[in-house]
Amino acid sequence: MLGKLQKILFAGCLGVGVAAAAPAGAEELRIGYIAPVTGIFAQVGKDMVDGFQLYLAEHNNKLGGMDVKFIVEDDQGKPDAGVTKVKKLILQDKVHMFIGGLLASTGYAVAPVSTAEKTLYISSVSSADDLTQRQLGKYPYFLRTSWTSSQPHHALGQWACDQGYKKAVVIAADYAFGYETVGGFQKAFEDCGGKVIQKIWPPLGTKDFGPYIPTIKADTDIIFTTMVGPMALQFPKQLRAAGNSKPILGSGVSYDEFVLPFMGNEVIGDVSALHYSAAIDTPGNQTFVKAYRSKYGKVPGYYSENNYSTAMWIDQAIQRAGGKYPGPEQFIKIMQSIKLDAPRGLVELDENRNPVENVYIKKVEKKKMFGYDKDELWNTVIKTYPHVSQFWTYGKEKFLAQPVYDRDFPPCKYCE
Amino acid sequence: MASQQRKIAIVTAILAAFAYIVPYSGSFVVLLATRAMTFAILAMSVDLLLGYTGLSSMGQAAYFGVGAYLTAVLATKFHVGLGWDFWLVVPLGILVGAALAALFGLFAIRAGGVYFLMITLALGQCVWGLAYRWNSLTGGDNGINMTGRPSFGLDLGNEVTFFYLVLAFLAGSMLMMYVLVRSPFGQSLAGIRERELRMQILGYNTWLHKYIIFVIAGGFGGLAGVLWAHTNGHVSPETVVLTTSVDSLLMVVLGGAGTLVGATIGTGIVFGLREYLSTLVPWWQYVLGAVYVLTILYLPMGLMGIPSRLRQRFASQGKKEGAKKLATKPS
């Protein structure tokens, strides 16, 4: 019988807990934040939260004059849990907006909640293309301060073609993020005259690339990869160990500062593209990198920078709104009117509420940077594509007429 | 059988109290309770196998998953199941879950013990792989977003209404399973659990018995899946992942296998810790771990074993005291 009694007590406790957590009436900005704080993505989740909190700490816990109540919830890297936590933030903590979400699947799962609950959702990392493309109409209270997966890779495809590379083999993690990064690269590369001659899709989480590396066609000029997590560490190591010395062009996340300190010298010379590099040589970025590193003991990657600049963006928007939260529609309009000078460079939103920003082509180099006295791996910027939109140079209408990038789109015309 | 009637009365009273209290305790609690109750149906279906038949299935998420994906695909691709036809999707989900179990059962039931566990695990992973790779149907890793809950006079978009619907399904499922395990069929399952060989010698077709309960459990899994899809409004491979199967097993063990009510309580506690405690403290996982370990160490019968343990303790204490009295009595 005790078990049943416990259940009643439990329900009772829940009720009390809710009553106790009722929000105070002061003029504070309540921001909910979801990130995977536990589970395999816990470290990335921490970097995300740290980025946002660094800005808050630097600004006395105020954004645009409002005191901030910053509530972090753990989505455990699972879309289901993300939905529950977002609902908790909205229903119980009565947040004005919620931010975050790492995985594309989490982004897709929580965006409808913002529509249903008429609460602003700012995606500060999650990069699923279609949220700000073909599905935008469904999510009127949604905006993105980060990127779309294909955005920097269009530029990388163009860059590869400009270097005179003719043939590319693609090897990428077999899931939506992989498809979208590859799609962007292939589209721009082939429109410029290059040919993708082979596509290999190892499953997400592959650690042994033994079965895949020998199948890479020998007559290729370059290898384009999208690897995430442990895959990013293993692939270059195993490729070089197998004696393959073709240049690697990687998705930005494969060489993000998040994994870079754990990589060996074999990655020196590898090229990748992203909308941020810790090695951007501007005073703004240097200040940010130093502040972040002295507080958290590591070089910030894009996960941290994007959240830092999201906080900065909100700061300016609330200021423009006169020190109060003006409601989601108005807030989005204000956000769209701001040209932000972030550590990553100038950023502004396009009409689809996705950032237009610099894309950096980066090469891994071992050197000293920003006065640190050790030789370390840095993502040296070798070319900057300014003001890159999610539609690259195709224009919105034309771009949206094609389907979202997928395992089979763009089709592999030159594969045999 | 007075004690059975008393138990039924208690469970009914608790469900009624639950139905009365929860809607007044904040919309997040309503949501959480709805999620827990949906999952409890899955946990009870695991209990049918684990507690009543002695089969530890590691693949129950597969039936849960097909139910959920069926609902999501019908709703988003064919706009079926968002009005009165929700009542068609429910039996369809049960059928699909049962049909898949009927197929998997052909492979799994031949084995017992660890081998059964491994086969169900592998088959469950097949479904996960399908959900993950079949992009055109399942949306791959991104999953499927549903546009809203069914509405047929009753608007299930309202969390409280939906809560009552799920509660009704939970109570109904519990009742049906209760009747099932009390039936002669259920009794013979218990016989199989205790000593399969003896049942075979007595002339029972134990394979068929196990197969039937496996299919029934699959059906309940499918039902839970249909409700789960509408609870979350989102279905992704995470729904079908191995952890879902393992969680449901742990919940049953925590609450007490072979009790049905125990599975519900176990689900309630795990969801409470995982989704409510995690909003309060960052070290909720340690609490969850400690609860599991302590249960296994001290309550092998699960939480439902507490009353009988207490009774035992009091009974033995009473005896001792009685004996003392006798001993100190001056002769």
Q: Is B315 exposed, middle or buried (0-12, 13-18, 19+ CB in 10 A)?
A: exposed
CB contact under 8 A, B238 and A7: no
Residue with tokens 């957590």: A21
Is B25 within 8 Å of A14 when comparing Cβ atoms? yes
Q: Which residues of B touch A81 (CB under 8 A)?
A: 275
C-alpha distance from B290 to closest chain A C-alpha (Å): 17
What's the sign of the alpha-carbon dihedral A71, A72, A75, A77? positive
Cis peptide before A211 (omega within 30 of 0): no
Residue A19 pLDDT level (bands cut at 50, 70, 90): very low
A306: confidence class by pLDDT, cuts 50, 70, 90: very high
Range of the structural domain that residue B81 is part of: 22-242
pTM, two decimal places: 0.83
pLDDT for residue B232 is more than 70 = yes
SS3 B202: coil
Chain B, window 118-147: residues with a beta carbon less than 8 angstroms from a chain A beta carbon: 132-133, 135, 140-143, 145, 147
pLDDT, mean of residues A7-17: 44
Question: Cα–Cα distance between B67 and A300 in angstroms, integer?
Answer: 43
DSSP states of A124-155: SS---GGGGTTTGGG-TTEEESS--TTHHHHH
Q: Is residue B91 part of a domain?
A: yes
Looking at the predicted structure, is the pLDDT value of residue B155 above 50? Answer: yes
Which residues neighbour A373 within 8 Å (Cβ) at sequence distance 6 or greater? none
Do A179 and A233 sit in the same domain of this protein? yes
User: Could you report how far apart the first and last alpha carbons of chain A are, in Å?
Assistant: 69
Instruction: Give the lowest-confidence range in B43-57, B148-162, B219-233.
Output: B148-162
Those residues with Cβ within 8 angstroms of residue B1's Cβ, 6 or more apart along the chain or in another chain: none
Question: Is the residue at A23 inside a domain?
Answer: no
For residue B310 the two structure tokens come to 């207490």
**Chain A residues closer than 8 Å to B147 by CB:** 112
Which of A8, A19, A109 faces B234 most closely, judged by CB atoms? A109
Q: Which amino acid is at A280?
A: I
Asked if residue A146 belongs to a domain, the reply is no
A174 & A301 share domain:
no
DSSP 3-state assignment of A36? coil
Q: Report the number of distinct structural domains present in chain A.
A: 2
Interface size, chain A vs chain B, as Cβ–Cβ contacts under 8 Å: 134
Instruction: Give residue A231's domain range.
Output: 151-280+358-401
DSSP annotation of A22 reads P
pLDDT for the residue A360 = 96
The C-alpha atoms of residue B32 and residue A81 are separated, in whole angstroms, by: 11
| Structure-derived torsion over alpha carbons of residues A394, A395, A398, A402, reported in degrees to the nearest 10 | 70
Structure confidence at residue A144 as a pLDDT band (50, 70, 90): very high
Contact in structure between A56 and A17 (CB atoms under 8 Å) = no
Residues 268..287 of B with a Cβ closer than 8 Å to A: which? 268-269, 272, 275-276, 278-280, 282, 285
Residue A117 and residue A46 share a domain:
yes
pLDDT score at B323: 60
A15 within some domain: no
Q: Give the CA distances from residue A243 to residues A98, A177, A238, A246, B325, in Å, rounded to whole numbers and listed in that order.
A: 48, 28, 9, 9, 87
Q: Give the C-alpha separation, A367 to A281, whole Å.
A: 13
Let me know: does A190 contact A196? Beta carbons within 8 Å: yes
Mark A278-303 as b/e (b = at least 16 C-beta within 10 Å): bbbeeeebbebbebbeeebebbbbbb
Does B132 contact A12 at a Cβ distance shorter than 8 Å? no
Write the CA distances from B316 to A3, B26, B323, integer angstroms: 22, 45, 10
Residues in Cβ contact with B285 at an 8 Å cutoff, skipping those fewer than 6 apart: A38
What percent of chain A clears pLDDT 70, i.e. is strictly above it?
94
Region A355-374 average pLDDT: 93
Across A45-68, average pLDDT: 94
Query: From A405, which residue of chain B is nearest by alpha-carbon distance?
Result: B135
In a domain, B10, yes or no: no
> Is residue B284 domain-resident?
no
Please tell me the predicted confidence (pLDDT) of residue B319. Answer: 67
How many Å apart are CA A386 and CA B165, to the nearest integer? Answer: 54
- Give the confidence band of B327 by pLDDT, cuts at 50, 70, 90: low
CA distances from B19 to A33, A344, B16, B150, B171 (A): 31, 52, 5, 21, 11
DSSP state of A203: P
Least confident interval from A275-289, A308-322, B107-121: B107-121
Same domain, A59 and A202: no
A2 contact partners, CB below 8 Å, separation of at least 6: B303, B306, B307, B310
DSSP H helices in A267-367: 283-296, 302-320, 328-337
d(CA A61, CA A28): 11
Interface residue B18 vs chain A (CB under 8 A): yes
pLDDT tens track for B202-217: 999 999 999 999 999 9
Q: What per-residue confidence (pLDDT) applies to A377?
A: 93
Q: Give domain status of residue A95, yes or no.
A: yes
Q: How far does B21 lie from chain A, in Å, by closest CA? A: 8
Contact call for A84 and B35, based on CB within 8 A: yes
pLDDT, average across residues A167-182: 92
Q: Where are the beta strands (DSSP E) in A19-135?
A: 28-35, 62-63, 66-74, 97-100, 120-123
Confidence grade of residue A11 (pLDDT, cut at 50, 70, 90): very low
Query: Residues 166-185, chain B: which have Cβ within 8 Å of A?
Result: none
A252 contacts A152 by C-beta, under 8 angstroms: yes
Is some CB atom of chain A closer than 8 A to the CB atom of B27? yes
Residues A306 and A335 grouped into a single domain = yes
Name, in order, each residue with C-beta under 8 angstroms of B313's C-beta and a sequence gap of 6 or more.
none
Q: Determine which helix (DSSP H) or strand (DSSP E) holds A199, and give its type and residue range.
A: strand A195-200
The reply to whether B269 falls in a domain is no
How many structural domains are present in chain B? 1
Inside any domain, residue A139: no
Query: Containing H/E element for B163?
Result: helix B159-182
CB B217 within 8 A of CB B116: no
- Is residue A351 a part of any domain in this protein? no
Residues facing A224 on adjacent strands: A170, A249
Give domain status of residue A170, yes or no.
yes
- Which chain B residue lies closest to A13 (C-alpha atoms)? B25
pLDDT in tens, A313-345: 999 999 999 999 999 999 999 999 999 999 999
Structure tokens at A131: 């949220």
DSSP symbols for B138-155: H-GGG-EE-----EESEE
Shortest Cα distance from A133 to chain B (angstroms)?
15
Q: Could you read off the pLDDT of A365-387 as tens digits, one per residue? A: 999 999 899 999 999 999 999 99
Q: Does any domain span residue B66?
A: yes
For residues A65 and A188, state if they share a domain. no
Query: In this complex, do B14 and A4 lie within 8 Å of one another by their Cβ atoms?
Result: yes
pLDDT per residue over A110-123, tens digit each?
998 999 889 999 99
Structure tokens at A305: 């920078």
Please indicate, yes or no, if residue B62 is contained in any of the structural domains: yes
Identify the pLDDT of residue A54. Answer: 95
Q: Which whole number is the average pLDDT over A225-229?
A: 88
In a mutational test of the A interface, the residue from B12, B137, B142, B227 whose CB has the highest number of chain A CBs within 10 Å is B142
We report the CATH number of the domain holding residue A89 as 3.40.50.2300
**Predicted pLDDT of residue A18:** 41
Q: Is residue A259 domain-shared with residue A295, that is, in the same domain?
A: no
Whether residues B306 and A3 touch (CB distance < 8 A) is answered with yes
Examine the pLDDT at B292 and tell me if it is beyond 50.
Answer: yes
How far separated are the first and last CA of chain B, in Å rounded? 44
> Residue B257: is its pLDDT beyond 90?
no
CA separation for the pair A126, A114 (Å, rounded)? 15
Residues of B in contact with A177 (CB under 8 A): 141
Residue B185 lies in a domain: yes
Give, in degrees to the nearest 5, the angle at Cα A135 between A133 and A138: 135
Mean pLDDT of A195-220: 92
